[in-house]
Amino acid sequence: MIRVLLVDDQPLIRSGFRALLDLEDDIEVVAEAGDGEEGLALIKDHLPHVALIDIQMPVMDGIEATRRIAADPTLAGVHVVMLTNYGMDEYVFEALRAGAAGFLVKDIVPEDLLHAVRVAARGDALLAPSITRKLIHRYVAQPPPASSAALEELTSREREAVALAARGLSNDQIADHMVISPMTAKTHINRAMTKLHARDRAQLVVLAYESGLVAPRNG
């Protein structure tokens, strides 16, 4: 059973998401909150697999709540998905850097919401290739210099797998590209995350661009 916690200051949004999620046999909404501070407390109490958190809220915003979740070792199993009204607003990349696994626009269709929750619960990033390109072009097309020293710990195959993940490829697609099994691709990614101290796949993608392992493409 996938345990989900909702954090949004709009009761209508929370009730709508809850109604959709509660219809599924494999998903359970364990609690909901109206601001980041309350949400953080409930997350510590309930330890959900997925926390759907609004970016902009009173008392404590979603980015700060995510940052605190990522910094707490006891919450390592909580995957944060940010909720936004606008999709490409200026907070999205900051949210990913804070530790979010991805983001959703609030007017998402029900099928995509359910898919996103299941994807996040298994630890994958909610970063489709098109979203990745937009984020990179808008926020890190000209990033500040970042150290690539950490990448020296990776093997050549691990670097290749990380670069492909940064392009938005799934483990199965990485496996096809590298001519290896999906399990081996997953192992390369997991080892890279451990070596680079990345909380999840989304942070691995951000690091790949900031370190220069992958360069933003034009177009």
Which residue would you say has higher pLDDT here, 17 or 204?
17
Of 33, 30, 12, nearest to 22 (Cα)?
30
Please state the rounded mean pLDDT for residues 159-188.
90
Which residue would you say has higher pLDDT here, 199 or 83?
83
Does residue 136 surpass a pLDDT of 60? no
pTM listed for this prediction: 0.69
Per-residue pLDDT at 133: 54
User: pLDDT confidence of 144, banded at 50, 70, 90?
Assistant: very low
Q: Are 123 and 79 in contact (CB under 8 A)?
A: yes
- How high is the mean pLDDT of the chain? 83
Q: Which of 20-24, 91-95, 148-152, 156-160 has the lowest mean pLDDT?
A: 148-152
Per-residue pLDDT at 219: 42
Which residue would you say has higher pLDDT here, 57 or 97?
57
Strand-pair category, 50-54 with 2-7? parallel
Does residue 44 surpass a pLDDT of 60? yes
Does residue 56 surpass a pLDDT of 90? no
Does residue 86 surpass a pLDDT of 90? no
